[in-house]
């Protein structure tokens, strides 16, 4: 069985500060890992994904995430927060054999001016 | 209580045929989303319904795709003249209201295979 835990339902950072959103997963098979962002009144958008290969994955809007198998983590980072980054962020895991995706509960990012 | 349901769970169709996929959201949920997921890919947003407002169709990949939501509840996603690249799992989600911090509840998906 697979599961995803996002640490912190709310994270607040100042504009220009580092963004760190934490995600830990459990999976009995090699996972595919994803980060999604949801802006108000919109559907989920894919930020980045890890399937195989390089463990540091770069996504859109300056975000990146590192797959650390030993820590079963896939934390999302951005060096400098922008006001437009304020949104809800979801971490997700799926198995490589099927299509089922398990989502974390989400982390709301607030960016202070 | 009952979650989001989708039917059929699996659909195999021939290239060029039309298909209809159904989504029954959780009762009382005003927002409904359609996504699709290809193997190894992330969710791809297709369309979003919120109450009686005009739907956000910005994610529909072509004019072969359309969706409607009747009575603010059940939704049907229609794909006309299916192509092999339409093969994917189509996921429906609903949420109680609009807004960024409202959890989406996902259905089990419909796996579409176009031969």
Nearest-angstrom CA–CA distance, A73 and B90: 28
- Decide: B16 and B80 in contact? Cβ < 8 Å: no
Contact between chains at B56 and A42 (C-beta distance less than 8 A): yes
Structure tokens given for A13:
């950072």
Share of chain B above pLDDT 90, in %: 59
Minimal C-alpha gap between A5 and chain B (Å): 15
pLDDT-based confidence at A27, cuts 50/70/90? confident
Contact between chains at A99 and B109 (C-beta distance less than 8 A): yes
Supply the pLDDT for residue B21.
98
Task: Considering only residues B51 and A6, tell me which one the structure prediction assigns the higher pLDDT.
Answer: A6
Given CB atoms, is A29 within the 8 Å cutoff of chain B? no
- Closest residue to B100, CB basis, from A32, A39, A101: A39
pLDDT-based confidence at A96, cuts 50/70/90? low
Q: How far is CA A50 from the centre of its chain?
A: 10
pLDDT digit string (tens) for B32-79?
Answer: 999 998 876 778 889 989 888 888 888 899 999 999 998 879 999 999
Supply the pLDDT for residue A39.
83
Instruction: Give me the mean pLDDT over the A4-33 stretch.
Output: 92
Nearest-angstrom CA–CA distance, A26 and A106: 16
Nearest-angstrom CA–CA distance, A78 and A19: 5
Poorest-pLDDT segment among A26-30, A62-66, B27-31? A26-30
Given CB atoms, is A97 within the 8 Å cutoff of chain B? no
Contact list, A103 vs chain B (CB under 8 Å):
104, 106
Contact list, B100 vs chain A (CB under 8 Å):
38-41, 87-88, 108
Supply the pLDDT for residue B14.
97
CA distances from A56 to A44, A53, B13, B108, B111 (A): 22, 9, 39, 30, 31
- Which residues in A60-106 belong to E strands, given as ranges? 64-68, 73-78, 87-95, 101-103
Res A69 pLDDT > 70: yes
């Amino acid at each position: 069985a697979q599961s995803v835990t996002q640490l912190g339902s709310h994270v607040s950072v100042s504009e220009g500060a580092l963004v760190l959103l934490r995600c830990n997963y459990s999976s009995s098979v090699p996972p595919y890992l994803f980060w999604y962002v949801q802006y108000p009144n919109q559907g989920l958008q894919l930020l980045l994904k890890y399937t195989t290969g390089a463990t540091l994955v770069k996504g859109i809007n300056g975000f990146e995430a590192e797959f650390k198998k030993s820590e079963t983590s896939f934390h999302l980072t951005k060096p400098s927060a922008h006001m437009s980054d304020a949104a809800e962020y979801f971490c997700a895991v799926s198995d490589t054999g099927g299509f089922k995706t398990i989502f974390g509960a989400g982390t709301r990012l607030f960016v202070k001016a | 209580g009952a979650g989001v349901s989708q039917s059929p769970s699996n659909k195999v169709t021939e290239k060029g045929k039309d298909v209809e996929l159904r989504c029954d959201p959780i009762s009382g949920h005003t927002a409904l989303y359609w996504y699709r997921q290809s193997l190894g890919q992330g969710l791809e947003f297709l369309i979003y319904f919120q109450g009686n407002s005009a739907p956000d169709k910005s994610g529909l990949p072509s004019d072969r795709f359309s969706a409607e939501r009747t009575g603010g509840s059940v939704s049907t996603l229609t794909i006309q003249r299916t192509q092999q690249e339409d093969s994917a799992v189509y996921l429906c989600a609903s949420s109680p209201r609009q807004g960024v911090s409202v959890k989406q509840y996902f259905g089990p998906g419909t796996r579409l295979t176009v031969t």
